[in-house]
Chain A
């Protein structure tokens, strides 16, 4: 049974990178453009892992994580934050908001897979 992953990023390139990488590994990936969009996709669905960017229009990653942690269905779902090395404080913010782990952009496909596996075998 494939695991469901929700990937949230405002960049279509990043979204495609994530989905191509993970789908090859047998995950089924749902994509969302921003936090708002992602929240709507959480509704009624169950994801095993959520991968999210921080800097996004409409609803940024931090707010999104906070919102996710309020949902009964995804309270305990591992959330991986996509960050860049220049944004240490964002990483901290993400962690405080309830993120489980992080991956630094740009990343190699194997790195993403490894991180996802780390939080959800």
Chain B
């Protein structure tokens, strides 16, 4: 057994931990013997050890651990006693007890190492220790809690009597064939579902080991549908006859758990018991002495109409004689009518048999069945109603051509007609009283013993299921739909019931006065807290973020070192000795480690996105808009820090989208748009970055208004040629937003500058696309991780700088005439007609460059925020992933530098902050 060996290994290592813990805990306990928490912890560890060693049948350890556990339990008890009582109990000092525990612990250690070494534990006198421990304990009063087992309540004669003859015959048959027959009663708590107990499951388990010959339950406490709580058990007593080849133990075993929340009885029935029961059909002749006083009540409760699905209790029984004659007539009429209907059906079926594809005939069969069903519901003849209902469903399938008419269907239809015929002549005894029939009248209609219609219904259902699984996988209709279809409830009632179901538990509890409102609120808060805070995917372990971060850091160093080795000139000398191959392999593995470690910091956007649902809903409500937020790509993963920081900008953008983007419902319908506005929040990968897109189908940005506002604010000179992109980016200007609070202007802008800043802090960028009248789309491009960037290493003089690849557009060598010098603006280069400021890094950072003329050097065109500039460098060294190191607080104010990194040759390269550079060149 490989598994067992593996498990044992786990056990050994766990036991090792536990024993170490125990050592420490016991030492603590010695210092502070009265510390309840320490005792609890020792107990828990001991307990775990006991349980685990039990699995592998290390009984010696188990026994000793058990003894220690008892001792600890005793210590707890003593601790809980008042001072005075301690005097009585405490002949034994806690010192002594702890000493003994130490002895026990040492012995457990010994035993464990013996076992691990493959030796037995025979050499260890643990039994003595157990004895010593037990000696410290007071005499244990062996009052085992009586284990639950089912009671034998004796024979319930009334119940047996209520079973009709055919079933009693079956019982006799079963007894003759050598089986045991039990009378079982199950009474479960109303709230059993809340303990995970399903009475139906109990019945299924019982029938798995035998046959349930007869079952009945009272529906007396079944409320009307309006009041019905689907989570309550209303069947207070279930009585059944179980035939089995097993003994009472079997029932006990099945009911073991149910016994904890209810009462279950069983009694073995003999043939004499059955024979002694008086035929139920002749209640008038019941000798008084046979009525079992104890069970009168339960007989009353047991109604013939046991019920597992249908509702409706039939008409009420009127008391007065005058009414009863009317009732009698109704009864007779039903009998008459159903008789003729059945004849009608029968002839239709025979016709159908000849013309199997004539759906009109199917209708001819359907209608009378439906009428009979309706009548039965009214009169309370549930059994017939149920059969009719089943066949109706089948016929409905035939009508809708989902079930083909074949001989099978014809057969079952005829069988149903026969069953209904029989059923209406074997109505339960209760009809006599209910309809005020005389014995003579009754005998006319009680020609048969009651038959069980369930097998037939089952047969029909099987046929139905068979056809439906073949035809399509449509889900079955809901109970409400069925009830509505059968006309048992009205649509209003259904809606009311559904609403009841919709209500939250908290509301119900408050309304019912079970729990005060503030309690529910706190519970909700706890729930919310747990929802947001503890969300680890299945099979995951929790690791401190700090550990992950330091791992990320170390891997960063590893990457650097790896590069250092690769680029080391002396290594390069070994070319051809296979070392290059190994180094590149090392490089590959390092990159894989890096990827893996990076992914450890990744979290899905799901929670953030879900939070947005609420934001949109609230804002929409406040602004009187009708908005749907459609989310996609919420499984996209992002660095944890990014996730934390992205939430606020998203809220801003969405708020603006709802408030300014989406028009009011009236306006929308005027424009011919659907009243409900749509905002699409999606996330996806593009290249090496993650894009979060917020799209709406609102009114879009109005360029003229933005321009006008910008000019007004002095952000822009009047006649400047400006691209759409640049116009849109104006709303991100700091000065712009404040004016936007006046909402007569269509743009967005409240806090948009903050949004931009936040996103840029994450080294992301934000773009806007908009079409007036049909919507705006804002996309946020974010790096996958914050610790590493893709950079282009450039050389200026003897220094190397890194430009983030994300912001590089192109690089080229300009012609001499493309460089223009403008007064007070410095140098400008003309790139295919657009003028870009030229930034000389050599001047900025005071380095001696290799080339002074731009036409000899290279220009790297960079972009940030829709602003562009060209950076002059000596040469491009190459593209590389670099690990970002901050320069520390001392250098945080340096303009144009975002951080540093260690390059392959061991030198430090500075990472350029493109936006900062452009800003310093432009303004």
Contacts and interface: CB of A to CB of B under 8 A. Distances in A.
B257 A121 contact: no
Nearest to A94: B260
B51 A118 contact: no
Contact of B62 (A31, A69, A70, A106): A106
Contacts of B62: 106
Interface string B193-211: 1111110010011000000
B523 interface: yes
Given A14-B52, A86-B69, A100 B196 contact: yes
Given A14-B48, A70-B523, A76 B194 contact: yes
Contacts of A69: 194
A120 B53 CA distance: 28
A13 B145 contact: no
B44 A55 contact: yes
B3 A20 contact: yes
A14 B49 CA distance: 10
A12 interface: yes
Interface string B61-105: 010001001100100000000000000000000000000000000
Given A118-B257, A119-B201, A16 B10 contact: yes
Contacts of B204: 121
Interface stretch (B534-542, B664-672, B856-864): B534-542
A75 to B, nearest CB: 6
B77 to A, nearest CB: 12
Nearest to B54: A106
Nearest to A41: B538
Contact of B196 (A40, A56, A70, A119): A119
Interface in A80-121: 82, 84, 86, 88-89, 92, 95, 98-102, 105-107, 118-121
Nearest to B193: A76
B536 A41 contact: yes
Interface string A32-47: 0000110111011100
A61 B863 CA distance: 59
Given A14-B48, A121-B204, A45 B538 contact: yes
Contacts of B205: 118, 121
B524 to A, nearest CB: 11
A88 B196 contact: no
B66 A86 contact: yes
B167 interface: no
Nearest to A50: B196
Contact of A17 (B7, B43, B48, B534): B7
Contacts of A45: 538
A11 B257 contact: no
Interface string B683-703: 000000000000000000000
Interface in A46-83: 53, 55-57, 69-70, 72, 75-79, 82
Contacts of B50: 84
Contacts of B231: 75-76
Contacts of B11: 13
B44 A40 contact: no
A105 B10 contact: no
B201 A106 contact: no
A78 B260 CA distance: 14
Contacts of A95: 195, 260-261
A77 B531 CA distance: 20
Given A86-B66, A86-B70, A105-B54, A43 B535 contact: yes
B530 A13 contact: no
Contacts of A99: 195-196
A102 B259 CA distance: 12
B803 to A, nearest CB: 43
B330 interface: no
Given A12-B10, A121-B205, A98 B194 contact: yes
Give the most central of B194, B196, B257: most A CB within 10 Å. Answer: B196
A102 B261 CA distance: 13
Contacts of A39: 530, 534
A20 B6 CA distance: 10
Contacts of A44: 535
Given A16-B7, A100-B257, A118-B254, A88 B52 contact: no
Contact of B55 (A14, A43, A79): A14
Nearest to B12: A13
Interface string B139-155: 00000110000000000
Given A13-B55, A98-B194, A30 B539 contact: yes
A120 B196 CA distance: 10
Given A30-B538, A78-B197, 10 more contacts: A13-B7, A13-B11, A16-B6, A55-B44, A56-B44, A75-B194, A95-B195, A119-B197, A119-B201, A119-B257
30 contacts: A11-B14, A11-B51, A13-B11, A14-B48, A20-B6, A30-B538, A30-B539, A31-B539, A37-B536, A39-B530, A39-B534, A40-B536, A45-B538, A53-B51, A55-B47, A69-B194, A75-B194, A75-B231, A76-B196, A76-B231, A84-B47, A86-B73, A100-B196, A101-B256, A105-B51, A106-B54, A106-B55, A107-B55, A118-B256, A119-B201
